[in-house]
Amino acid sequence: MSEKKNKSHAFSALWGKPIPRRTETILLAAIALLFIALTITSFAQKSPTVDEPLHLFAGYSYLKWGDLWVNPEHPPLAKMLAALPLLAIDIKDPRPLSVFDNRILESDVGDPPAVRVAQEMFFVQNDADTLFFYAKLPMIALAALMGFFVYLWSRDLFGPEAAIASVLFYALDPNILAHSSVVHTDLPFAAFFFIGSYFYWRTLNHFSWRNLLLTALCFGLAAVTKHSFPVVFLTWGALGLISILSSKPQQGSTGAKGAPLSRWTKSRIVVVTLLSASMTAYLFIWAAYGFRFHAIPGIGQPLPVDQWMPNSSFLQAWVRIINSYHIFPEAWTCGQLFALKRLSRVSYLFGEISDQGFWWYFPVVFAVKTPLPTLVLSLGAVGRSFFARGNHGPRFFILVPVVLYFSLAVWSRLNIGMRHILPVYPFLFILIGGTAAEFWRKESWLKRGGLIFLGGYLLFSSFSIYPHYFAFFNELVGGPKNGHRVLLDSNLDWGQDLRGLKHWMDLNGVKKIHFLYFGKADPQYYGIDAFYLPGSWVIRDSANNDVPLHLAISANFLYGEKLFLTQQELAFLKSFQLGEPVANIGYSILVYKLNRANPQIYHNMGLALASRGHLDKAVELLREALKIQPDFATAHENLARVLALQGNRSEAIYHYEEALRIMRSRPQAPPSP
């Protein structure tokens, strides 16, 4: 009995020892390789998301042609990073070949025509797979770098066990995996915010010119990545104030022989750091726009700022001063105004739609989009920060950015996706790592068993949703199959499943489909032959005139119909009288089997073709609908209109009369009492 007890104590002591450095390095490398493998292999099974063609085209246009007007909604850095590898590839310039190029300047921030030029560049003139593969690699590298700093900061605060736990939760998080390869501003901004906060923490705790320089550098990079960068300044200001008021001794190179710094000295460090960061940001803004005021080279006329001008007379006066004295590049100013104008957007939550957003949107997003192990340990970590004994300074420093950023996100009401609270997650992973390490060191089999269970649960959650990371929802709502009941937009459907749809079509021998697509990638590039319903964001007429017997609908259009479709487009969709879906592609595209004997199929397709100028085919399809249902009054009426457009007046009159006769023969509803 005594021998068994001694073995148990020896085993516990072994587990309680710090991880050997070599083992730690091997674990870190294995986690990094797993993260990169999951990211690359998952995006390889997806199509580009809604905004990626435009963002990559914008970044390429900045670098290649110096045109800063495409997509000024966001600053240029993330887009230029993604486009940088494309400069080494022989790419056909789509602009001289595109009829849309000369209309880019005529539209609101250049988006609709620029999107079409981007589609032509990537999906027609060049190989989209190759270009997007190389464009996504810098995004993945930046995500991996942020993961390394999660490890580094966690190790500095809580030790190697905490660091491994933190980076493991980071690398397996479905939301991080989903956004790590996207050509967008969300994850790059989160990276610069987080890495900059790490060096800011080092500056406040042990001042050095190197830490100050790196802090300012990261703030400058954040400023040219996303227009919400002032949140970083506000967060650092709050952290600086806490540091000044704190009684904790601070060491610095300014103190004699590393002596603790006075509050006055700490105040100077905070002020100098924030001023240096601000000046760096101003320099980086001009550098990112080529030290040029005008957005388009060779054009001296100002951009039409008035269409984005806020209602505030105070802001209007400031904008005029800024543009008159060229204080900031005009594309940057327009981007700021555009972001302010669209700060509150129409949003969807639990089936409700609001044009003012919901204050509980992001709390719900965090609750249902965060894996349960992360959620449980996050709540435990926050609780320990307030109630556990010991030095809470490091925990509060990590917690302040989470609380501030999350609170501002709730206040902003920009309710279009969890990606807008992505910056809080790396901070939470550090707290999770610290809490997990504390529990592990308690040498309690119950706590260690709980941690092993949560780690295994996270692994299962990440692998079971692979490669559909955008559609991840936790068990609180029943998983991704019920995600649409709570959230839409980039939380579920970002137009990413064209590859999956094509794979399903091949497996089931489906040659052509009706398609209502929420996305801006080109389905034809992936071999999808489709007839596009009104409301689809892509309409490219097929040369195949066959009538499809399957209908594919993006989840955003199906469940958020009132959010994305007009009343006319919605009525058109509902006329198909859909039953249960026969396939669910990545949780973002649903496929329905249509009844060949339903005249509405032929009527709808004919009506849509007529609106696109294909009158002969429209007449053929409308006649087919009347063969199936001769008393279809609406088909008679629409056929008459198309025949009239063709100049066939006699037959048009006949079908008008048939429509009137059928409608008159139907019993009228009794008048209301």
Which pLDDT tens digit goes with each residue over 416-453? Answer: 999 999 999 999 999 999 999 998 887 788 889 999 99
Mean pLDDT of 642-653: 95
87 neighbors 81 (Cβ within 8 angstroms): no
**What is the pLDDT at residue 181?**
97
By percentage, how much of the chain surpasses pLDDT 90? 70
Provide the CB-side half-sphere exposure for 556 (13 A, CA): 25
Instruction: Specify the higher pLDDT residue, 302 or 163.
Output: 163
Phi, psi for residue 645 in degrees, rounded to 5: -65, -30
Phi/psi for 314 (5° steps) reads -65, -50
pLDDT at 256 over 50: no
Question: Which of 569, 530, 525 is closest to 550 using CA atoms?
Answer: 530
pLDDT at residue 75 greater than cutoff 90: yes
Q: In this predicted structure, what is the pLDDT of residue 301? A: 57
> Picking from 58-67, 93-102, 485-494, 631-640, which range would have the lowest pLDDT averaged per residue?
93-102
For the chain, which residues make up each domain, given as ranges?
493-594, 600-665
pLDDT of residue 7: 42
SS3 label, residue 187 = helix
Give dist(CA 530, CA 512) in Å, integer.
Answer: 5
From residue 444, how far is each of 16, 409, 435, 440 by CA, in Å? Answer: 10, 39, 14, 7
**pLDDT category, 306, cuts 50, 70, 90?**
low
Q: Which of 237-246, 298-307, 387-396, 437-446 comes out lowest in average pLDDT?
A: 298-307
Task: Provide the pLDDT for residue 107.
Answer: 43
Render pLDDT for 469-528 as a digit per residue (tens, 0 to 9).
Answer: 999 999 999 999 999 999 999 999 999 999 999 999 999 999 999 999 999 999 999 999
Q: Which of 76-85, 119-128, 311-320 has the lowest mean pLDDT?
A: 311-320
Amino acid at 72: P
4-40 pLDDT, tens digit each: 444 444 334 444 567 899 999 999 999 999 999 999 9
pLDDT value of residue 259: 62
Average pLDDT over residues 372-396: 84
Mean pLDDT of the chain: 89
pLDDT category at 308 given cuts 50, 70, 90 is low
What was the pLDDT predicted at 299? 58
Could you report the per-residue pLDDT of 570-627, keeping only the tens digit for each? Answer: 989 998 889 999 999 999 999 999 998 999 999 999 999 999 889 999 999 999 999 9
- Amino acid identity of residue 173, one-letter, is D
The whole-number pLDDT of residue 11 equals 36
In this structure, the dihedral spanned by the alpha carbons of residues 654, 660, 666 and 668, taken in order and rounded to 10 degrees, is 180
At 375 the pLDDT is 97
Q: What is the pLDDT of residue 305?
A: 66
The CB-side HSE value for 71 (13 A sphere, CA atoms) comes to 28
Residue 578's φ and ψ, nearest 5 degrees, are -75, 150
Question: What does the pLDDT read at residue 133?
Answer: 98
pLDDT > 70: what percent of the chain? 89
Among residues 596, 611, 592, the alpha carbon closest in space to that of 515 is found at 592
The residue ranking higher by pLDDT, 407 or 11, is 407
H or E element that contains 553? strand 550-554
Kindly tell me if the per-residue pLDDT of 645 is higher than 80: yes
SS3 585: strand
Q: What is the pTM of this model?
A: 0.92
User: Which residues are within 8 A (CB) of 416 and not within 5 positions of it... i.e. 6 or more apart?
Assistant: 345, 347, 489, 490
Check residue 523 and give its pLDDT: 96
Q: CA nearest 100: which of 83, 112, 109?
A: 112
Q: What is the model's pLDDT at position 367?
A: 98
Average pLDDT score over residue span 648-672? 82
pLDDT for 588: 98
* Spatial separation of the C-alpha atoms in residues 147 and 306, rounded to whole Å: 42
Q: What is the DSSP letter of 127?
A: -
Domain 600-665 in CATH: superfamily?
Answer: Tetratricopeptide repeat domain (1.25.40.10)
Instruction: Give the model's pLDDT for residue 390.
Output: 61
User: Which of 135, 160, 161, 235 lies closest to 193, judged by CA?
Assistant: 235
Lowest mean pLDDT among 161-170, 406-415, 457-466: 406-415
In this prediction, residue 344 has a pLDDT band, given cuts at 50, 70 and 90, of confident
| Span 148-169, average pLDDT | 97
